[in-house]
Every structure is written in structure tokens, then in C-alpha cells.
Homo-oligomer: A and B are copies of this chain.
Amino acid sequence: MSLIVQKFGGSSVRNIERIKAVAQRVCNAKDQGHQVVVVVSAMGDMTDDLIKMVHEITPDPTPRELDMLLSTGEQISISLLAIAIQSYGHTAVSLTGWQAGVQTENLHGKAKIKGIDVHRIQKELEADQIVIVAGFQGINEMGDITTLGRGGSDTSAVALAVALQADVCEIFTDVDGVYTADPRILPEARKMSVVSYGEMLEMASSGAVVLQPRAVEFAAQYRMPITVRSSFNDHPGTMVKEVSDMEREMYVSAVTHDCNVTKITVIGVPDRPGVAYTIFEALAKARINVDMIVQSTKAETVTDLLFTISSDDTRQAVHIIEGLIDELGAQGLHCDDSVAKVSVIGAGMVTNPGVAALMFKALSSAGINIQVISTSEIRISCLIDRARVQDAVRAIHSAFKLDQDPSELPPSPVDLL
């Protein structure tokens, strides 16, 4: 008998019909003899509807009260799912975040999970119950309800799987698994059967929104295998786990793209120590993540500082930097929303030289200009014109032969050059 944690996102429970379908799927897992813990998000548009009500009152609600409000979304889902499962003749019990023992730090809106007291869940499992837990939420030391931020239900599911020492954590979503590229823009993209934690993390941080990065980090830390699969069919999904070289399909696994990127250039900055620090410290204090950074010396004493941020943060970042222009002695600020980032990701690239060269060749052959480059051990990213994203993904995907059956290892990138 295995212990399985299954997580269903908002689109999987967006109406009563879908909740019944999820209930059926959960009952099937139980019928196969497993112990089942289910983590559920709020129904489809529920969270947005609640936020709409708040905005009729004020644009700026306090985070504590917003968490109190939004956490009702999952509470509605868990009780309806429990009722549906019970109507199919199984025993089930729903638990809110605090009832499930999910303890978080005291930061409303994006709290991190500090620990899970699994006593209640274990008691219910021993009583042969299907246990349904509200994702996305927990409780802080003061006994106040907190939320984990967008997509936090993935993290809830993985954290529960780890705390309960589950055999696997299944993340059900509206796609069949993890693809070599976004199948919405590249139909020939291939579903991967397996991907490593590191690759999944780079993908999640590079525009592939299948799994929350924090959930992947957590799973990697505790070696908890995750299966990503569709809640709409029975296709086998993608397994995210520790992958040995023997299991590795390709030295490059996938191409990702991210159009939610803004390029900011601080023009004519005096080339002296402390300038970059002043800017990035101010952004960090506002919790704005800076991604790619380039400093190019124009003349002897003046430089341009260029970096990218999430487009969601553009307004705030511009406001902050405009306040620093005088202090820095800079000449001005330029903000460009017409860019996108494409990345190749693959744990095998460390030991296979030529990956970067093959990527640049593919983009060059397609006539696409590279504005900025950044790399990690298992990722290479290029900033390009947003209008050329689809062409870029197709060119790179094709150059690395990612659409081919991985059963025979592809030639090395050097041979493909």
C-alpha cells in the first residue's frame, strides 16, 4: 500500500462537473488500495472574484485581511470535493490549512511553510479516510491565516508529501506533462517522460509555468518524486525526480520562453564603484528580482547599465530608479517592453561542449538578433525581440532535434554545428 499525495489546481475544480470528475479520480486511486491525501486549490475564478469585491472597497487592502478572505476559496473547494467523494460511497474528511497543521512564517500573501504537524492527517488516514487539504494556506504563530502566494498549492502538496513520507506527489493540471517547448506555440513539442529537479527548476524560472519553482526546490531538497499529469485524461505524465546520466534522454531537455520581461537601461552612468550596488539594493528592498545584467562601457568614464525584470514590476522599478537618477549622476532611463527571453535547459550541457554555439547558430540562421546572454550551469538564455519568440523557439527546438524520439541518444552539439 502506497501513500499518494494528489494535487488539483483551480482549472481542475473550476465547476461542479469538474469537482465530480476529480472525486471519481481520487476514488479510483483509493480503490487501487492506496492511502490518498488530496490538495486542492480554489475553484477557477473564485480568487479573482473575491479580489474584485475587495477592489470595490479599496485598491489597497491589508495583507492579513486579504489572506482571511482568499483562504475561503480553498475551503469551499475542499468541502465540495469531500461531499462529492462521500456521494460516491467513500469516506473523506476535509481539512483547512490550519487543521492540517501547516505552519508558516508570519508574512501574509507569500508566507513560506515552516513545518507541518501531521498528527491530524495521520489520524484520519489510519481511520481509512481520504484526506482533503486546502492548498495555498497555513497558519502563523499568532493563529492567523496566511497564504503562500500564487501557485502555492503546488508547494503545499510537495511539503505535505515530504512531511507524510509519501511515495509520490502527483500534480494534476490542464496539460499532459512537461514538454520540450510550449506546445501552444510549437505543436511538434514532445512530452518528456522524465526531467530532473534542476532542469525543472530552471524551466519553471524561465517561463514554463507547469510547476511552482518553490515546490520544485522543496521536492529536490527531500528527493520527493513529482508526477505532472493531466486531470482531463489518463495519459502518463512527466516524472520530475533525481535523474542519473543513464536515464537522461538528451543533453538538452527543453526550450522555454518568457514574454513577461522588461528590459531597463540606465543610460550614462558614471563608471565608479557603488553605482550598481545603489540601484540593485533599492530594487531588492522592494522585492523586485533582477534577472539578466549587462554593463557596457561607452566612453572612459560613462557606462550604460542594462538589466531585465518581470514586466509585473516595471512601474515600481521605474519609479524607484527615477528617484536615483540625480544621486547617480546618470543621464536617463530607458524602458523596453518589446523583448522576450528564450532559454535552452539541460543537465547534460555541462559535459557536452557546443550547446551555446548551436543555440546562437540556430538564432542567427533564423535572422534573430541576440540582445543579452546569460547562463547557468544547466541553462543558456538569450534576450531577443518579442515578435520573434515563436520563430526562435522553433529554430532552437529543431537545431537540437528535440522533436525526435530520445530512445537513441542524439549526436553531440559539436557534430550538429
Please report A residues at the B interface, Cβ cutoff 8 Å.
Answer: 16, 19-20, 50, 53-54, 56-58, 61-62, 64-66, 68-69, 71-72, 75-76, 78-80, 82-84, 86-87, 93-94, 96, 99, 120, 143-145
Taking CB atoms, residues of chain B closer than 8 Å to A54 are 80, 83
- Least distance between A118 CB and chain B CB atoms (Å): 14
Given contacts A69-B80, A93-B64, A94-B65, whether A58 and B87 have CB atoms under 8 Å apart is: yes
Per a CB cutoff under 8 Å, which of B53, B64, B76 touches A72? B76
Taking CB atoms, residues of chain B closer than 8 Å to A76 are 50, 69, 72
What 4 A-B pairs are tightest by C-beta distance, nearest first? A69-B79, A68-B79, A72-B72, A58-B87
Return 23 A-B CB contacts under 8 Å, by A number: A16-B53, A19-B57, A20-B57, A53-B80, A54-B80, A57-B83, A57-B84, A58-B83, A58-B84, A58-B86, A62-B82, A62-B86, A65-B79, A66-B83, A68-B78, A68-B82, A68-B96, A69-B76, A69-B79, A69-B80, A72-B72, A72-B75, A99-B143
- Least distance between A61 CB and chain B CB atoms (Å): 5
A16 near B94: Cβ-Cβ < 8 Å = no
Taking CB atoms, residues of chain B closer than 8 Å to A58 are 83-84, 86-87
Per a CB cutoff under 8 Å, which of B16, B65, B93, B120 touches A83? B65
A62 near B83: Cβ-Cβ < 8 Å = yes
Taking CB atoms, residues of chain B closer than 8 Å to A68 are 75, 78-79, 82, 94, 96
- Least distance between A123 CB and chain B CB atoms (Å): 10
| Most chain B C-beta atoms within 10 Å of own C-beta, residue among A16, A57, A58, A72 | A57
- Least distance between A96 CB and chain B CB atoms (Å): 8
